[in-house]
Amino acid sequence: MNAGKHFSFDGQVKEIRPLGEGLINDTFFVETVGDSPNYILQKKNKNIFKDIPAMMDNIHKVTSHLKEKIIKKGGNPLREALTITPTKDNKLYYLDEEGEYWAACLFIDNTLTYEYADSPELAARGGKGIGQFQAMLADMNEPLADILPGFHNMKYRFQQWDEVLMKDPVARKSQVQKEIEWIESRRNEMLALWEKFEAGEIPVRITHNDTKINNILFDKQGNVLCVIDLDTVLSSMCLNDYGDAIRSYTNAGKEDDENLDKVYVKMDIFEGYTKGYLSEAISFLTPAEIENLAFSAKYITFEQVLRFLMDYIDGDNYYKVKDEKHNLVRTRAQYKLLRSMEENYDMMCNIVNKLVADLRK
């Protein structure tokens, strides 16, 4: 791997091999000889990230802030936050001859990753970890560049949606009329949350925006060690992070499960995550944020249905796919999860309210 030569890795590189299940970047594990640290090398997806220098700058600001906090708490800044490995000429990224952007960071070893939460206790630890992550960033004053305009902005998502439907570039629209109706029938309900954010009823915070469970490294005791995949750190609603975590932790099936009977929201996991999250986040959440927590799980899951279906109609330009039906399979699986959340919505609201009341006793 030629790009690897340009980074200031300690030790001699033994092998560079593919790693992980990310849907966006190409990730590689850099193994070094002997006791030197290992690394992660990534080719960042420039179709999605239009300003990778600004993205790396955001990540640098956020990880520097996190490290200061971790050191103050007596933690290990090399394991509890990502550490960017610069290039030999001390840049945060390497731009190769083909115009591809590469970045590297320290590999954090002895960790566990999950595709879903297998117990309420694990979910609670995950929730606590994201609560702590948000709390550590709550006083970060340095502005972040808006490198993904409109990322969880439902107005923007519907603009993209309307354009793709109008173009129907690969003539797939007629096959998915039923699925399109799933989106249209919820348009106003979903836009309403973003409107509250735009109106200032819900505050702007520094948020991760991609808190699915495989973007978290757990230690061997099952505690959150490090929140990774910081490409999407932005100033947005912290509800995105709660909602996206619920979408991935609570799903009894896979994000792209073909067996829809396996896909539903596990309420014990919902309760576990929410309990862990609120144990930290109760200290900073406003009443409007608390009031919209349960809804944010539906919001982010709906957005994911929209994004997978939109990518299918658009001809699979955004997400990595294994075949031409993959985005449609993902759409149906995420829709099944959304339906399950809708059926359990009253219970979700009751759980949030009860946990908040207990914490305030």
Residues that bind ligand GN1 in the complex, under the rule CB under 6 A: 22-24, 48, 210, 212, 215, 229, 231-232, 255, 304
Using alpha carbons, list the distances in angstroms from residue 290 to 101, 147, 263, 294.
39, 27, 26, 8
Considering only CA atoms, give the Rg of the chain: 20
231 binds Mg ion (CB under 5 A): no
Report the nearest approach of ligand GN1 to the CB of residue 25 (Å): 7
Task: Please say which residue, 20 or 37, places its beta carbon nearer to ligand GN1.
Answer: 20
Task: Please say which residue, 24 or 237, places its beta carbon nearer to Mg ion.
Answer: 24
- Measured at CB, which residue is nearest to Mg ion? 229
Ranges within 144-183 binding ligand ADP (CB under 6 A): none
43 binds Mg ion (CB under 5 A): no
Report the nearest approach of ligand ADP to the CB of residue 188 (Å): 32
Q: At 39, phi and psi to the nearest 5?
A: -140, 165
Q: How far apart (Å, rounded) are the C-alpha atoms in residues 361 and 356?
A: 9
Task: Please say which residue, 209 or 340, places its beta carbon nearer to ligand ADP.
Answer: 209
- Exactly one of 4, 11, 22, 37 binds ligand ADP (CB under 6 A); that residue is 22
Sign, Cα dihedral of 37, 225, 233, 122: positive
Short-list 140, 148, 149, CA closest to 52: 148
Using alpha carbons, list the distances in angstroms from residue 187 to 192, 238, 339.
9, 21, 15
Q: For residue 224, what is the enclosing H or E element?
A: strand 224-227
C-alpha torsion 357→195→332→116, nearest 10: -40
- Exactly one of 134, 215, 251, 327 binds Mg ion (CB under 5 A); that residue is 215
Report the nearest approach of ligand ADP to the CB of residue 108 (Å): 4
85 binds ligand ADP (CB under 6 A): no
Q: At 40, phi and psi to the nearest 5?
A: -110, 130
| Residues within the interface to ligand ADP (CB under 6 A) | 19-20, 22, 24-25, 27, 40, 82, 105, 107-108, 113, 214-215, 217, 228-229, 231
